[in-house]
Structure 1
Amino acid sequence: MSHGYSPAFSRLDQGPIAKWFWTVDRAILGAALTLMALGVALSFASSPAAILADESITDPFHYSWRMIVYATGGLGIMLTTSLLSPRGVRRIAVLGLLGAIVVMALLPFIGDTVKGAARWINLGPLSLQPSEFAKPCLIVFAAWMFAETQKGQGVPGVSIAFGAWILTVLLLLIQPDIGQTLLITTTFMAVFFMAGVPLKWVAALAAAGGAGLVGIFFSFSHFRDRLTAHGSTDRDATFQIDRASEAIRAGGLVGRGIGEGVMKRRVPDLHTDFIYSVGAEEFGLVLSLVMIGLYAFIVLRGMRKAMKLNDPFEQIAAAGLFMLIGLQACINIAVNLNLIPTKGMTLPFISYGGSSMLAMGLTMGFALALTRKRPGAYEPGATLPDRRRILP
């Protein structure tokens, strides 16, 4: 009798879970699960210091227990969504985008205003931020519309996709949420580029984006203040990022040790936007590079798989979703390293926050579903669409 290792599922098993196990990218899934585990671990390091800002909280691990709940919910969404077919992904994305737009439109009337921004709707124990769910749903919907345009059957996919993007951006600016606006716009334009738009359109859109950024600078004082404060010598204006930078420097190569961080007690929003600095102080450069490496692995492997997909919709949507995860991670880490002004952007799978964790579970679930191995899904030598297909 053999005593060798036996996998959980046989390749001959035709059940839906077994088929999922053998067709999903287990390496990307493992990297995402590792990031979630790091997020839970870092919540135990940050929660005791984070509760100091709220005298009504007495349990030092209040945020940690909630983080476990959020991570469990995000994991459930990710695994469930990864079972979907490409058609199922499209359906959920359309419904999710419509729902997010409706709720975002109602936020000025029913939303909770925090720090001058109405971005959340209170659902009892959970404050939901609909824009987090709009991001992956918009990317999938736009990829679908661009792919339909490529078929040349008269579907005005480009116009529909741009209409959805403009509506989403306008609702974000009303809140206002400039960080999410820039992230969604950058990813949307990247998806448009990957769909085969000519380079002259890319240049025109880049110019329009630059003009829009100038308009935002003069229209939104808080955005202007953050830009002008970046690199300022005024210690009051840069207090938050200065404390985060001190925490990162204090960590050195291997960190102060588990629970030994002291700078984190002086970092505002340490458990959300600045969780990276908490990890860097307690675990040093080693953990920082591990986190960056995991994000790089997910994005690079995901983009490589997307480029090999045979269906244009699956190609564009999967690549856009992996790019969305990578861009958000880059923005958060760049803020923590004081490379760019603060954006209020969470670190995917690691920062505390119910909406962020659940939405990231949805994003990764979509991406895993689209890159699963199916008959005819991957063709040798397949690449992203020809650059001349989508527009004349």
Structure 2
Amino acid sequence: MTTFTFNRTDNSVVGRWWWTVDRWAIIALTLLITMGLVLTLAASPAVAERIGVDPFHFVRRQIAFLVPSIGAMFVISLMNPDQVRRLACLAFVVSLAALAATLVVGAEIKGSRRWIGVGSLSVQPSEFVKPAFIVVSGWLLAERQRHPGFPGGVLSCAAYLATVSILLLQPDFGQTILITAMWGVQLFVAGLPMIVVLVLGAIGIVGVFGAYFLLPHVASRIDRFLNPEAGDNYQIDRALEAFMSGGLWGRGPGEGTVKRILPDAHTDFIFAVAGEEFGMIACLALVAIFAFIVLRLLARMLQESDPFVLYAGTGLVAQFGLQAFINMGVNLHILPAKGMTLPFISYGGSSMLALAFGMGMLLALSRQRPGHGLYGVYR
């Protein structure tokens, strides 16, 4: 039987990748993707039957999205930091243009224009603009440090304002909050003067209050979060019932009921399906995997001597961790309702491809390179 192994003297592209990539992060991502497929298989057939399509419609589509996503993540993770920067710049320009196009040609769904059609598929450009923006911003902030006269901070701010302005016009306040939080983490790591960080934080708080008073759907979600009797909390109430019904060990695969009545059981509320069918133990295992990936890659980034890798990588870690936290927080009703996928778990083509794009760049940036960081070769 032939086996595929790489020795430390293998100078092929894949061989060098194998000995420099964080293999523990790869293992954790593999576990996450596997659990995502299991949960999609558990949650989506009931949703498919309810809307009148084949029971395994969403499962097949998720696998169809997963194959190119894994391929893209692997290919991108082979890149060096300069290639990652160039790819992110191109992706940012294209995704920002597509984001603007949603305002003109995007389909209006629930009062928002967030999707554009590409052939027979629908694409959500905001999913791709997030990782691209954070890498471009990391590059601009790094250039500001390398060349004191370069207006990297101003350009980073301009890129941020361009992005969130279009998001607010859609409107998509949730993605705006996520991008703002990612950017804030990046600015903090980049060592901007504390007064600047505080001013930007104050502007963010003013923005939240402004959205509350100017955007009715934002006000409705916050009101329902603070006072459950202020409006319809159907999905949140059913999700909480699912967690209580599942208990410690769950009702068993296929035995859950929440997926039969929740419209978004296979997407935004798949964590509740996990809680009902597999119990608190499975939910804690999911949390542990997310935490492991975030803490391991964050520790790697904080050991980095290249400012671009540090800023871009930290921002990408923040995106991954914050998105998971927001999704779980909404399911557990510790955050106001927001439609946001659970990374590599929820069903969704745009989300899966964009997360693979971002994680591929993060794996590429976290690879061990001679003369950078304090780690030796990963073991």
> Could you say which residue in structure 1 is the equivalent of 2:16?
19
Give the residue type in structure 2 aligned to 1:12. Answer: T
Given the alignment of the two structures, is residue 38 of structure 1 paired with residue 35 of structure 2, yes or no?
Answer: yes
Cα-Cα RMSD = 1.7
Higher helix proportion, which one? Answer: 2
Structure 1, unaligned stretches of length 5 or more?
Answer: 381-392
SS in 1 for 2:310: helix
Assess, with a 3 A threshold, how the Cα gap between structure 1 residues 248 and 96 changes in structure 2: closer, same or farther.
Answer: same
CA contact (8 A) 2:223 2:230 kept: no
Of 307, 325, 328, which residue of structure 2 is paired with 1:330? 325
> Could you say which residue in structure 2 is the equivalent of 1:8?
5
CA contact (8 A) 1:232 1:238 kept: no
Of 365, 371, 377, which residue of structure 2 is paired with 1:376? 371
Residues in 2 aligned to 1:107 and 1:146: alpha-carbon distance in whole angstroms? 29
**Residue-by-residue CA offset, 1:355-375 (whole Å, 9 max, x unaligned):** 100011011111110010111
> Could you say which residue in structure 1 is the equivalent of 2:112?
117
> Could you say which residue in structure 1 is the equivalent of 2:255?
260
Of 138, 141, 144, which residue of structure 1 is paired with 2:136? 141
Shift of 1:262: 1.4
SS in 2 for 1:296: helix
**Residue-by-residue CA offset, 1:335-356 (whole Å, 9 max, x unaligned):** 0001111110100010000010
Assess, with a 3 A threshold, how the Cα gap between structure 1 residues 233 and 160 changes in structure 2: closer, same or farther.
Answer: closer
Q: 1:1-392, aligned counterparts within 5 Å? A: 8-55=5-52, 57=53, 59-234=54-229, 237-379=232-374
Normalised by the length of structure 1, the TM-score is 0.93
Residues in 1 aligned to 2:243 and 2:223: alpha-carbon distance in whole angstroms? 23
Residues in 2 aligned to 1:302 and 1:293: alpha-carbon distance in whole angstroms? 14
SS in 1 for 2:229: coil
Shift of 1:53: 4.3
Residues in 2 aligned to 1:132 and 1:83: alpha-carbon distance in whole angstroms? 22
SS in 2 for 1:113: strand
**Residue-by-residue CA offset, 1:16-73 (whole Å, 9 max, x unaligned):** 0010011000111111121111111111111122124423x2x101101111111212
Identical pairs, percent: 44
Assess, with a 3 A threshold, how the Cα gap between structure 1 residues 64 and 235 changes in structure 2: closer, same or farther.
Answer: farther
**Residue-by-residue CA offset, 1:178-204 (whole Å, 9 max, x unaligned):** 110000011101101110112222211
Residues in 2 aligned to 1:227 and 1:234: alpha-carbon distance in whole angstroms? 12
Q: Which shifted more, 140-149 or 124-133?
A: 124-133
Residues in 2 aligned to 1:153 and 1:200: alpha-carbon distance in whole angstroms? 19
Shift of 1:153: 4.4
CA contact (8 A) 1:244 1:264 kept: no
Shift of 1:276: 0.3
User: How many corresponding residue pairs?
Assistant: 376
Residues in 2 aligned to 1:273 and 1:223: alpha-carbon distance in whole angstroms? 17
